[in-house]
Structure 1
Amino acid sequence: MAQTGLGVALRTLRERRTLSLREVGQLSTVDHAYVHRLETGEKTGPSPELVAKLLKVLKPSERDTEIVKWLVEHPDADPALVEFVLDDASIPADIFAAAAGVRHRGTVRPEPAVLIARIRRAFEEDDE
């Protein structure tokens, strides 16, 4: 199964807290196998209640919480972009959402850093 943006985000947040899948499962009362399936992309579209339980345990920043909630509604987000943005706290959630929502011609997506730079420039031009 292909990795998803949501799966990348959940795994990244879990690893930041140095929690195992079983620990997340126990602390959130969500079956650890289901959390694993979300992380690997085997399952998508978790309920808002389930996401809230996981976020309570993973304790992400406000920005990362906003990104995870956006990813639940947008399962086609590029996992590489999600990983890049979660590794760079200077990228706001609105810039991420705009970059993740861009449709590309052809089969090649720009590198995440290039895409984020383009979106930032576009936002700056809008402010002028």
Structure 2
Amino acid sequence: MAQTGLGVALRALRERRTLSQRELSELSGVDNAYINRLESGEKTNPTPEVLTKLLRALKAAERDATMVKWLADHVEASTDLVKYVLDHPHIPVDYFISAAGMRFRGDARPTPEKLIERVKRLYEAEDDDDDDEE
């Protein structure tokens, strides 16, 4: 089974806290095997209650929690993009969601870094347009 953005995010947040899956299970009250299946991509549709328990136990920042909740409903999100954004906490969650929702023709995909830079320019251009209207 292919890994998902949700699985990548949960694993990264768990490893950031230096927890094993078993320790996260004990802290969250979510079955250890289920955590493993979420991280591996075997399961992709946790309930909001399960996500809340996991995020609380992981002590996830608001930005990261928002990402995880979004990823639970968007299994097609790029795992590389998820890793990149989690490794760069200065990237706003809005940029991540916009970048993750972009579609491309053909097989060519920009790197996560280039993708976030494109989104950043779009947001900045939008802000400039708003300033011009005032």
TM-score class, shorter-chain normalisation, is over 0.9
Q: Name segments (4+ residues, structure 1) moved above 4 Å.
A: none
1:75 CA displacement: 1.1
- Matching residue of 1:60: 60
**1 CA distance for matches of 2:44 and 2:60?**
20
Tell which structure's C-alpha radius of gyration is larger. Answer: 2
Partners of 2:94 and 2:14 in 1: CA distance? 23
Corresponding residue of 2:101: 101
Please, what TM-score do these two structures have when normalized by structure 2? 0.94
Deviations 1:15-47 (A, max 9, x none): 000000000111111111110110010110100
- Structure 1 unaligned segments of length 5 or more: list them: none
Structure 2 counterpart of 1:73: 73
What is the CA-CA distance between 1:126 and the residue it aligns to? 0.6
Q: CA RMSD in A?
A: 0.6
**Equivalent residue pairs, number:** 128
Percent identity of paired positions between Structure 1 and Structure 2: 59
Match of 1:92 in 2: 92
Task: State TM-score, norm by structure 1.
Answer: 0.98
Q: Distance in 1 between matches of 2:20 and 2:47?
A: 22
What do the CA deviations read for 1:63-107 (whole angstroms, capped 9, x no partner)? 111111111111110000000000000100000000000011112
C-alpha separation in 1, matches of 2:40 and 2:110: 23
Q: Match of 1:14, as an amino acid?
A: R
Using the alignment, how far apart are the partners of 2:62 and 2:4 within structure 1? 21
Q: State the AA in 2 paired with 1:26.
A: E
Q: 2 CA distance for matches of 1:22 and 1:92?
A: 31
1:10 aligns with 2:10: yes
Is there any run of 5+ residues in structure 2 with no aligned partner, and where?
129-134
